[in-house]
Amino acid sequence: MASSQVVENNHQQGKVYFIRHGESTSNERNIFAGVLDVDLTAFGRLQARQAGSDLKKKGVKFDAVYVSHMRRARQTCEIALAESQALKSPDTPIHIDHRISEKSFGIFAGCNLNLLRLACNFNCEVYSLWMDITEMGIWAIFNIFWNFVSKPW
Cite the active site residues: 21, 102
Q: Distance (Å, rounded) from C-alpha 110 to C-alpha 104?
A: 11
- Residue pair 108/32 in contact (Cβ under 8 Å)? The answer is yes
Question: Contacts by 130-135 with C-beta closer than 8 Å and gap 24+?
Answer: 130/103, 130/104, 130/105, 130/106, 131/103
Q: Bridge-partner residues for 24, per DSSP?
A: 40
The DSSP element (H or E) to which 38 belongs, if any, is none
